[in-house]
Amino acid sequence: MARIAGVNIPTGKRVPIALQYIHGIGPMFAEQICESLKIDRARRVNDLADAEVLAIREYIDANLTVEGDLRREVTMNIKRLMDLGCYRGLRHRKNLPVRGQRTHTNARTRKGPAKPIAGKKK
């Protein structure tokens, strides 16, 4: 099993698909990695030589921000918005949708389960 950026990537899958198991690498970056290292997209991970796995690992370390560093960067960006007190930061702080979605009827994933209104008796 190949280990790249601290992630065990699946060996039976094609290289561009397996690379997407790494947080921060999507379809575009996976294709870009294969193209720059001249690795055939149809090859499977278990067909790669150790030198090719090492080349992929070095390319990712040199050119991309992935896994823990990326998660830390995103967390710090959100924390910065919250500290500034800007609109997006306030929405993050209140656990409400940040990007302009309606909250009157939807947004249950972000807001959590519906809470019954207390004190409504007839």
Kindly state the helix (H) or strand (E) to which residue 37 belongs, with its residue range: helix 27-37
pLDDT, mean of residues 90-117: 92
Do the beta carbons of residue 111 and residue 96 sit within 8 Å? yes
Do the beta carbons of residue 60 and residue 5 sit within 8 Å? yes
The residue whose two tokens read 């993050």 is 92
Q: Considering only CA atoms, give the Rg of the chain.
A: 21
For the cut 80, the answer to whether the pLDDT of residue 78 exceeds it is yes
Higher pLDDT, 2 or 84: 84
For the cut 80, the answer to whether the pLDDT of residue 120 exceeds it is no
Q: So what's the pLDDT on residue 99? A: 94
For the cut 70, the answer to whether the pLDDT of residue 70 exceeds it is yes
pLDDT, mean of residues 5-19: 92
Give me 110's structure tokens. Answer: 């972000």
**What integer best gives the mean pLDDT of the chain?**
92
DSSP structure class, residue 85: T
Of the pLDDT bands very low, low, confident and very high (cuts 50, 70, 90), residue 115 is confident
User: Max Cα separation, the chain?
Assistant: 75
